[in-house]
């Protein structure tokens, strides 16, 4: 194959790859936009001070719920890590006592 044909073929392959990457990037942006529309309702700004205070109370309640859930999950994760450590310590002790190490 001649050098010019190789160069032309390489250029075409790079152009196709670039087009595919551009299409993938556009699809990701659209997917991100759809996700945000589905999971995050549009924020309507309150007009009065009372509405703003109610919105703040709702947001603080949601923050407290998320913090509580995070704390519970963190506690569960710590318990699992400790259980795994205990298991490995027992396993090491048993193998060591049997003369495996």
Q: What is the 3-state secondary structure (H, E, C) of the chain?
A: CCHHHHHHHHHHHHHHHHHHHHHHHHHHHHHHHHHHHHHCCCCCCCCCHHHHHHHHHHHHHHHHHHHHHHHHHHHHHHHHHHHHHHHHHHHHHHHHHCCCC
Is 99 a residue whose pLDDT tops 90?
Answer: no
Mean pLDDT of 93-97: 72
The pLDDT value given to residue 1: 80
The pLDDT value given to residue 52: 87
Distances (CA, A) of 46 to 35, 49, 51: 25, 8, 5
The pLDDT value given to residue 64: 97
| pLDDT per position as a tens digit, 9-65 | 999 999 999 999 999 999 999 999 999 988 887 777 778 889 889 989 999 999 999
Is 101 a residue whose pLDDT tops 60?
Answer: no
């Amino acid at each position: 194959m001649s050098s010019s044909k190789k160069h032309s073929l390489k250029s075409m392959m790079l152009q196709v790859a670039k087009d595919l990457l551009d299409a993938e990037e556009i699809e990701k942006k659209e997917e991100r936009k759809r996700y945000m529309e589905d999971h995050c309702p549009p924020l309507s700004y309150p007009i009065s001070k009372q509405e703003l205070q109610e919105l703040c109370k709702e947001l603080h309640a949601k923050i407290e719920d998320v913090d509580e859930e995070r704390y519970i999950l963190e506690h569960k994760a710590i318990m699992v890590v400790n259980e795994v450590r205990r298991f490995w310590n027992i396993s090491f002790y048993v193998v060591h006592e049997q003369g495996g190490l």
